[in-house]
Every structure is written in C-alpha cells, then in structure tokens.
Structure 1
Amino acid sequence: MYRVLILTSALIWVALSSPLQDSCTVTSYDAVSKAISSCSNIVIKGITVPAGQTLTLNLKTGATLTFEGTITFAHSNWAGPLVQVSGSKVTVKGASGSKLDGLGAKYWDGKGDKGVKKPKFFKIKTTGGSLLQNIKLLNCPHQCVSINSASNTVLNKWTIDVSAGDSAGGKNTDGFDISSSSGITVQNSEVKNQDDCVAVNQGSNLIFKNLTCSGGHGLSLSVGQSSSSGSANTVKNVTFTDCNVVNSRNGIHVKTHTDAGTGTINLVTYKNIKLSGITNYGINIQQDYKDGKSTNSPSNNIPITHLNLQSITGSMSGTSKSMPVYILCGSKGCSSWTWSGVSITNGKKSNSCNFTPSGFSC
C-alpha cells in the first residue's frame, strides 16, 4: 500500500503542477494525428509523409513541436500543401541538422505553374504570438512558404534552399508568400530560389528584416491578383529592412495587376537594402501587370502611396538589359513617395521613370 500510494501521489502531482508537459516522439506518419491531439510537446523524427497527403499540424494552444532528422514527402502531382501548421501561441522548431525535403527534382519541369501539378510546401495559419524557427526547407516543388490567414507570428532563422532547381528546371519557387495576414515578422533567414524571395499579396503590419536572398526575383509586392475588391487587394504598413539581395533578377519589385478589383498599397518602407549582381532591375515598380505579365499599359486601380525608400545601394550585374530604376505608374496611381540614399551602379540601361519620387532624380 505504501509504495502504491507514493507512486499515485507522484503521478497526481505531475498532472496538477505540469499540465502541458506530456511529450510524444513520432517516428511514423500514422502516429502524427494522435500525438497532435494528445500531447503538448511533440517530436517528429525522420518520417516520410505518404504521397498526396498533408502533414497536418493543428497544434494545441501553447504546444511545442520539434522536427528531428529528415522529413520527406513521397511524390504526387497535386496542389498540396505538404505541411500545414495552425494553432495559437505555438512553437514549431527544427532541431540541429534537421530538414524537410520536398524532393523538388521529381516535379521540376521548367514550366512552374504551367507544367505538371506541383504541391505548395509549407502553409502557416498560426496566431496569438506563435514562433516558428530554425527550420530548413529543401527542394520546394513549387511555392515554399505560404503565410495565409495568420497573425501575430514570428518566423526566425529559416533556411530555404532550392538552389538545385537552378539547373534542374525549378520555377515559381517563391520563398515567403503572404496573404490575408497581419502582425507577421520574418527575420534572420536565407532564401535561395528561382522566384520572389518574399511576395506580399495582401496583409498589414508586416516586417521583413535581416534576410539574404539569392537566385530569385527579389523583395516583392504583388497586389491585385484577387478578382474581388477592397481588403482582398490591400497592403498596408510593411517594412523591409537590413536585407541583402544578390545574383537575382530584381532587387525590389512592386507590381499591381490591372485585371483584378480595386485595392491599395500604403505605407511601405524599404530601408538599408544592399544589392549585387542584379540582372534586370534594381528597383522595379509597375502598375501594368495583366495575366501574369507586363503590358506597358498602367492602371490606377491599385494606387501606391507613401512608398518610402532609404539607403538602397549596390550594383547591377552589367548585363545588356540591366537598369537600376524602372517606374511605370498609372496617370493617378502613385503619390507621396519619399526616397533618399538610392544609389545603384553598373546598369547598362538608363533609368526610366514616368513618376519621380521626392528626393530622387531619375
């Protein structure tokens, strides 16, 4: 009786004093769902996710999840995502040496969106002060990270490496895509890919800092792809700061789409952005996109106001098509821009601007 009483008392004490300390280590996909529903400290170690399945991580409030080893995803031509994380006040992290491998070479065909169906990789819908850090994504089949309907979340120390796609047909491999989200910070991270390093489609109160981007299309806003109007095409209070963009098509790219509804881009700041080896445009701002490409016919449907650039410096690659600054605005599409310390050298083409920001001479 004495021994049983002591053991029972100890178990009761643990349950009462540490209600969130239950731990589970998962080594097979089939065990994930049960662990997520019953544990608040989960380790997912070296599993393979079956073809056509999402690793769904709908975490309990306050839960912690850790990836260990290599997580792989069997091939299937479908839309994905391969991973989806949701929950409030959650922590998702990668242990040292861990990685999630999307096996992109099985999908890459040089056609991106227009080729075979390819899954998006990692979708984030977290809220409430969540943290996702030290996560490494390899070989994204398509877009890498989709932050959608998320809020009050920090992404810290991510590595996104799709560099193998440079010679193997990787395309439309966006690093971080943001839509319908607010209060998001992405920091201290690196992206090697073949498309936008960051692409903001819709959102507010967004911060991107200490990012290194290479091989892709730069730090972008792409607004107006939704056919509806108003909030679906609204970007407000966004800051990019202390970032490096190297060996990329663009450094900074802001584009609006004329084939969608109305919207706005307001209060966007790029500060202390360093460029090198940029092949096409150091700064590229266009209000003429339709059907996914430039038309040279800009529109006013999504005005860009209070676009602030401070200390944007560096150099182009020197290729024949390189241009430091290109601005194409609708007749009333751009206003109240303030630029200072913009200096981009080694362009073979002269700047082209149909709107001139305050503090800048085109």
Structure 2
Amino acid sequence: MASNIITFGGVFLLVAVASAFDIWSVDHIPNAKKSNDKVIRVRDINVPAGTALDFQGFDGKTIEFHGRVTFGYKEWEGHLIIIKGKNMNIKGMPGHLIDGEGHRWWDKCGGNCGKKKPFMIYTQLENSYVDGLKIKNTPAWCFAINQCSNVHYSNIDIDNRDGHTKGGHNTDGFDVHKSRNIRIYNSKVNNQDDCLAINSGWDIVFENNVCEGGHGIAVAVGGYDVNEAKNILIKNCKVIKNNIGVRVKTLLNGKGIVDGVTFDNVELKDISEVGIVIIGNYLNSGPRGEPTGGIPIKNLNINNVRGNVFGNGTNIQINVAPGSPSGWIWKSQVKGGKKNPNCKGTPGNLNNPCNW
C-alpha cells in the first residue's frame, strides 16, 4: 500500500493510497493477476493479432484504461477484450481510447459473409461496474453482455461513425443475453446495427442513452437457448437517424415469452423506415410469412414514444399472431411517413394504433 503526504490546516497527514500494477503488454497480465494490487492500469497496449486482452481471475479489482489500446489484425471469431469476474470496477480514464480500427475488417456484410470478424468486448460479470469507456471502430459487435447479474454500464461512448462510409455492418452497441439486473445509462452509440439488442434477460434498464445512425433499440427474442425477456425498461432515450426507431421482434416459429417491456419517453428523430415495429415473424434475413404465437408479447407499454419518420417510411408496423399478445398500453405520436393499413394482431383491449 503506497502513501501520500498532504497538509490540512498546517498539519501533515499520511494518507494510504491503493497501490497499482501497470500493464504495458499482454505479457504482464499473469503477474498482474498474481499481484496484491487492487488497481490494474492498462497503458497504451497493442494486443497481438488473434489474442484477447483477457481479464479473468481479477475478482475484486479495478481495471483502468489509460492511453490508446489497439489490436493486431487477423480474421478470427474470438473477442478482442474479455472481462469475467465478480465485484470488478472497469473504468475509462481521461484521454483513453479503445480503438478497434474496424476498417481493416469492414466489408459491408458484418457477420453474414466475407471476413471473419471478432467481437470487441465480452463481459460476464457479477456485482460490477463498467464506466466511462470510449470505444471506436469495432470490427463488428461491440459489447456482449452474457450471463451477467447486477452490473451497471454507464457513460460509455461507442463511436462507429466511420462505418457509415467505410463498410461497417453488424456493429451492435450492446447485446444482452441471459443477464439479470442490468442497467445501461448515460451512454452514446453511433453505429450500423442495433444500438441495443436484448435477446434474453430479466430486469433490464436502458436509460438516458443516445442512439445514432443504426437500426434502433430492439427486444429480439427467439433462436437461442433461453428465449425470455421480462421486465425491460427503455426510458428517456433518443434515437436519431436510424432506419428503425424501437421494436419488439420475435422469431418465426420460436418458443418463449416477452413480458413487461416498456418504452417510456423515447424520442425518434429522422427515422428512415419504420418508427415502431412489433412483429412475430422475424428471421435474420427479415420478416417472412405469417406470424406465429409461440413467443407471445404480453404487457407491452408504449408510452410517449414520439418523433418523425421520413416521407417514404412507415409510422407503425404491427404483425403478431392474433390472440397471442395481451395487456398492451399504447401512447405514441409518430409523425410523417405513412400509416400502415395492414397492422395485424393488436390485442382486443386496444384500438389499433396504426389507425390513430
């Protein structure tokens, strides 16, 4: 434990300061793991190609990112950064940047074809905080939030705006799977896919975030080993220049449940395709066929979702299996675009919002 000497009222005080272990190379990580230092400082690392910056076995420690973190180029399907553990504190320090230099992988087709592309950051955390990270140009997906519980992600800046002109695709901001009690707030995403995609999870809050340039905010359930999304709150967010505003989509012929999704005070600005989408016939290649009811959408609350869609777009699209949804509450004001006369499956307690 290091110490600092400070003065207070002319009296010298000896103050204990937590010692830190500096990492300048991935070769330092094993020694950092064995050290008694509570703070691990990552400084200006270039991670070798095909290697993860791997923080497993750092329970109870703080990981600070300083300077610029970069990665060698290789076509592979691993993760550039792995963070697993309990009671961890992940912090981005002033002036730092995690730079994926994604243009080296971008080929306009993301994970669907072309080059093999790594995930940017894989997190599997418990009782932890991730705060202040600044991330630029991810090869494809940014955050995998997988099997996490009681974790806060805050003040995160994911900047993939270069991908709009250089071939970025599937550059999701936050992908959530099998996680519980997750809060993502005060963050920004500029990308070419979902800002947030919840595939499964319980008690998730996405609040005070700005999503720009991508495919909107999605609860997308089906096709995984767990197909439940319950008690989801998306609140006080802005979706700017995305093709979709907000959506709930369930897999065609899938099994599971969506229960208790709320979109509250969400502002849509300059949406190009559809403002609000609720569908039960989703496939990765796009909606297809008649919706199936194996993943019913219950207790959906659309409250004060407002904004504008461009003239060739559609305000609201609903296509769910009749009789499968229940308990919907709807209050939206999406202007511009076109009304969709073919909305299907709205529960009986609600007048069809497509006709408002």
TM-score by length of 1: 0.89
Deviation at 1:332, TM superposition (A): 2.8
Distance 2:34 2:330 in 1: 51
User: Which residue number corresponds to residue 119 of structure 2?
Assistant: 120
User: Which residue number corresponds to residue 141 of structure 1?
Assistant: 139
Distance 2:48 2:279 in 1: 42
Distance 1:139 1:359 in 2: 43
- Listed as ranges, the matches of 1:312-327 within 5 Å are 312-318=305-311, 320=312, 322-327=313-318
Deviation at 1:198, TM superposition (A): 0.1
**How high is the sequence identity, in percent, across the aligned residues?**
34
Count of equivalent residues: 336
Cα distance per residue 1:76-117 (max 9 Å; x no partner):
111121001112111101111111111100000011112211
Contact 2:24 2:45 survives alignment (8 Å): yes
Distance 1:180 1:273 in 2: 25
Distance 1:293 1:259 in 2: 14
Of 11, 23, 28, the residue aligned with 2:20 is 23
Contact 1:237 1:268 survives alignment (8 Å): yes
CA RMSD of aligned residues (A): 1.6
Q: Which has the higher helix share?
A: 1
User: Which residue number corresponds to residue 207 of structure 1?
Assistant: 205
Deviation at 1:296, TM superposition (A): 3.2
Of 262, 274, 296, the residue aligned with 1:281 is 274
Contact 1:250 1:282 survives alignment (8 Å): yes
Amino acid at match of 1:221: V
- Is 1:60 aligned with 2:58? yes
Structure 2, unmatched stretches of 5+, are 1-14
Deviation at 1:169, TM superposition (A): 0.7
User: Which residue number corresponds to residue 186 of structure 2?
Assistant: 188
Runs (4+) of structure 1 moved beyond 4 Å? none
- Listed as ranges, the matches of 1:63-74 within 5 Å are 63-74=61-72
Amino acid at match of 1:290: L
Amino acid at match of 1:32: I
Of 246, 255, 275, the residue aligned with 2:249 is 255
| Cα pair distance change 1:259/1:116, threshold 3 Å | farther
Amino acid at match of 2:247: H
- Listed as ranges, the matches of 1:1-362 within 5 Å are 21-38=18-35, 39-113=37-111, 114-128=113-127, 130-226=128-224, 228=225, 232-260=226-254, 262-318=255-311, 320=312, 322-340=313-331, 342-350=332-340, 352-356=342-346, 358=350, 361-362=353-354
Find the residue that maps to 1:173 and give its secondary structure.
coil
Contact 1:339 1:360 survives alignment (8 Å): no
Higher mean displacement: 47-56 or 286-295: 286-295
Structure 1, unmatched stretches of 5+, are 1-16
Find the residue that maps to 2:103 and give its secondary structure.
helix
Amino acid at match of 1:344: V
Contact 2:48 2:71 survives alignment (8 Å): yes
Contact 1:225 1:259 survives alignment (8 Å): no
Deviation at 1:297, TM superposition (A): 1.6
Distance 1:242 1:351 in 2: 29
Find the residue that maps to 2:115 and give its secondary structure.
coil
| Cα pair distance change 1:269/1:148, threshold 3 Å | same
Cα distance per residue 1:122-170 (max 9 Å; x no partner):
1111102x11100011101011100001110000100001110001110
| Cα pair distance change 1:150/1:37, threshold 3 Å | farther
Amino acid at match of 1:361: P
Distance 1:144 1:61 in 2: 23
Distance 2:23 2:353 in 1: 59
Find the residue that maps to 1:167 and give its secondary structure.
helix
TM-score by length of 2: 0.91
Deviation at 1:352, TM superposition (A): 3.9
Contact 2:322 2:344 survives alignment (8 Å): no
Contact 2:180 2:203 survives alignment (8 Å): yes
